[in-house]
């Protein structure tokens, strides 16, 4: 028997309460719903908003003179644990899927704030006055910060199989930019009938995402999860495997070769060595031999093996032979 969705009373649109709207707060009203549906939708949206919206956070830190988080730093008022607690509260927006590694070095006397972490236009610090560390007159503070993109909460640990460098301290990540979600279910009228429901949803964020964007993202996540149930009884046809043409292979190779080396997630040491050597793209890196790489200052076997593994994952390698004309001119 065909399903008749037109027998359900459903909201035609969602209204935003402009009177109460703020950069970090939004109130949204949807009506009418059949009995029970407003609570089902409201509770589901609330759970997705609090757990599944992407955000950016500081994921690890390297502080000169600190091998672990339970030590003090000469010339710095705060210990490493206090600095890490401060870094957890830094609010960051990223305009790229691969946030940069930020390095700062300051001589005292001075106060390091979150605003000092804004290395370039690819990230924005939303609470620039948030204090990180106080450097005394005879102190020097040097730090490398890693950022990552994720959802929800992640404990201070590396990805499985990823080797941690000595001196890098992982940090608990609170990715979720949505801090609070409330919903209320009330009664509403449709014609002469009063047994329908109205959903009022309130969303509060920490500024890393607009409440409107958060609501749209949460609804999209729910919809994508439900699509498979809508289509479950359709015949599944496996995609025919079609060999790539030579032109497609060439285009794929060009894209790989012209990727920035910042996009392949190297360690700070390896990334700094490439930067000092003025190697900016994967293609420029692949043109080098192992012997050439080992000549660069501070570039050792560990960094060499790391780069070889990354290139191997991409189907490339050091000393890879290709037409240099494939590299875009900058």
The helix/strand/coil state of 250 is helix
CB 26 within 8 A of CB 212: yes
Tell which residue, 223, 185, 220, 218, has the closest CA to residue 201: 185
Give dist(CA 177, CA 124) in Å, integer: 14
Q: What is the pLDDT of residue 161?
A: 38
Q: What is the pLDDT of residue 44?
A: 96
Location of each CATH 3.30.1360.10 domain in the chain: 7-53+178-228
Please state the rounded mean pLDDT for residues 16-24.
93
Check residue 30 and report its DSSP letter.
E
Q: What is the pLDDT of residue 164?
A: 63
More confident position, 143 or 322:
143
Q: What is the CATH number of domain 7-53+178-228?
A: 3.30.1360.10
Q: Which CATH architecture has domain 55-174?
A: Beta Complex (2.170)
Q: What is the pLDDT of residue 132?
A: 94
CB 203 within 8 A of CB 21: no
Give dist(CA 119, CA 145) in Å, integer: 11
Q: What is the pLDDT of residues 211-254, one digit of tens each?
A: 999 999 999 999 999 888 877 766 544 444 445 566 767 777 88
Tell which residue, 226, 186, 206, 230, has the closest CA to residue 49: 206
Inter-CA distances, 266 with 120, 128, 129, 251, Å? 19, 27, 30, 24
Location of each CATH 2.170.120.12 domain in the chain: 55-174
Q: What is the pLDDT of residue 274?
A: 83
Say yes or no to pLDDT of 306 above 60: yes
Give dist(CA 168, CA 268) in Å, integer: 10
Q: What is the pLDDT of residues 137-172, one digit of tens each?
A: 888 999 999 998 999 888 887 544 344 667 888 899
CB atoms within 10 A of CB 54: 15
Lowest mean pLDDT among 20-34, 56-70, 205-219: 56-70
CATH fold for domain 246-324: DNA polymerase; domain 1 (1.10.150)
Please state the rounded mean pLDDT for residues 2-20.
79
Radius of gyration of the chain (CA): 26
Say yes or no to pLDDT of 208 above 70: yes
Location of each CATH 1.10.150.20 domain in the chain: 246-324
Q: What is the pLDDT of residue 82?
A: 94
CB 33 within 8 A of CB 10: yes
In this prediction the pTM is 0.66
Q: What is the pLDDT of residue 158?
A: 58
């Amino acid at each position: 028997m065909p399903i008749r969705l037109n027998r359900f009373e459903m909201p035609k649109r969602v209204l935003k309460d402009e009177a109460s709207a703020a950069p970090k707060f939004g109130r949204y009203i949807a009506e009418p719903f059949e009995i029970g549906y407003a609570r089902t939708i409201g509770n589901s949206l609330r759970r997705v908003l609090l757990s599944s919206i992407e955000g950016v956070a500081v994921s690890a830190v390297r502080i000169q003179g600190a091998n672990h988080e339970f030590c003090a730093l000469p010339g710095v008022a705060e210990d490493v644990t206090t600095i890490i607690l401060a870094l957890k509260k830094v609010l960051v927006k990223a305009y790229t899927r691969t946030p940069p590694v930020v390095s700062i070095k300051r001589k005292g006397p001075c106060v390091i704030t979150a605003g000092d972490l804004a290395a370039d236009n690819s990230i924005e610090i939303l609470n620039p006055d948030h204090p990180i560390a106080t450097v005394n007159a005879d102190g020097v503070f040097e730090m490398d910060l890693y950022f990552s993109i994720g959802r929800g909460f992640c404990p201070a640990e590396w990805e499985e199989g990823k080797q941690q460098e000595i001196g890098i301290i992982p940090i608990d990540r609170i990715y979720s930019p949505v801090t609070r979600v409330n919903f209320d279910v009330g009664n509403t009228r449709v014609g002469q009938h009063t047994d329908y429901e109205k959903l009022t949803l309130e969303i509060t964020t920490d500024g890393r995402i607009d409440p409107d964007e958060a609501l749209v993202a949460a609804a999209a996540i729910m919809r994508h999860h439900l699509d498979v149930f809508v289509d479950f009884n359709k015949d599944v046809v496996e995609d025919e495997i079609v060999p790539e043409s030579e032109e497609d292979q060439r285009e794929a190779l060009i894209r790989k070769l012209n990727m920035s080396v910042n996009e392949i997630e190297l360690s700070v040491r390896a990334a700094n060595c490439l930067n000092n050597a003025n190697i900016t793209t994967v293609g420029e890196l692949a043109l080098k031999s192992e012997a050439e790489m080992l000549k660069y200052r501070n570039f050792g076997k560990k960094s060499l093996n790391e780069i070889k593994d990354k290139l191997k994952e991409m189907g490339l390698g050091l000393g890879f032979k290709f037409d240099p004309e494939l590299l875009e001119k900058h």
